[in-house]
Amino acid sequence: MKMTGESSSGNSEITMDDVKLLIKKKDEIEEQIQAYYDVLQDQGVGVEGPLVDVEGYPRADVNVHQIRTARHNISCLQNDHKAIMVEIEEALHKLHAREKAKREQDESEVQEESMELQVSLPPPFARVDAVTEGSPASGAGLRLGDEVIEFGSVNTENFQNLQNIASVVQHSEGKPLRVTVIRVGQKVQMSLTPQRWSGRGLLGCNIVPVQR
């Protein structure tokens, strides 16, 4: 059976439509086999029943030619059925193997993209180890575990200690600061405005340095 689609190397590629066509052909063969079995049943003989009488003459009570034709066709169709079952099995195997290879390739590409992203991001200089609910930090979207790579004018290049961040916060009360963090391998930016609230400080979060 000719399969649809051609690969870049010229080899045919199995598709699900090919498998469906093979299954349809298999069903048709099974229907034909059953039809010939019905013929034998109508004649009152099976696949192996004798077609001659005790004296060796062709039986007069049955249509010998019709029975022989039915038996021959059943034998041929059964061979066709075995062959197409092998084709279906091979087609499904190739289809599943190709899907598995594509899935593995997609996963590999995702991992490569993730690694490239991690390489392109600057190393964090601080980490958020506490965020109080209802605080300015919480409202801005800062989360526990966020790794800071930018806090206003403080970044990986110029960070020396936490006093750098404290100084920026004190001089930016009521003014939005751009904060950039790494969260689950992804770069996330937010706007954080230091301001008075019901809790302590102007942020409502705790930031600790990252050892580099």
HEC per residue, 88-138: HHHHHHHHHHHHHHHHHHHHHHHHHHHHHHHHHCCCCCEEEEEECCCCHHH
- The model's pLDDT over 62-103, given as tens digits with 9 standing for 90+, comes to 888 888 898 999 999 999 999 999 999 999 998 888 888 888
Query: Percentage of residues in the chain with pLDDT exceeding 70?
Result: 90
In this predicted structure, what is the pLDDT of residue 2? 47
Tokens of 131: 């965020």
Among residues 143, 144, 146, 151, which one has the least CA distance to residue 186? 146
- The dihedral sign for the CA sequence 96, 101, 107, 109: negative
pTM of the model: 0.45
- The model's pLDDT over 134-168, given as tens digits with 9 standing for 90+, comes to 999 999 999 999 999 999 999 989 999 999 999 99
Length of the chain: 212
Question: Looking at the DSSP assignment, which residues form a beta bridge with residue 189?
Answer: 180
Angle between helices 64-120 and 16-43 (to 10 degrees): 160
How far apart are alpha carbons 193 and 169 in whole angstroms?
9
In this predicted structure, what is the pLDDT of residue 127? 95
In this predicted structure, what is the pLDDT of residue 10? 40
Q: Radius of gyration over alpha carbons of the chain, in Å?
A: 38
Question: What's phi and psi for 189, nearest 5 deg?
Answer: -110, 145
Residues 6 or more apart whose CB falls under 8 angstroms from that of 137 comprise 128, 131, 192, 203, 204, 205
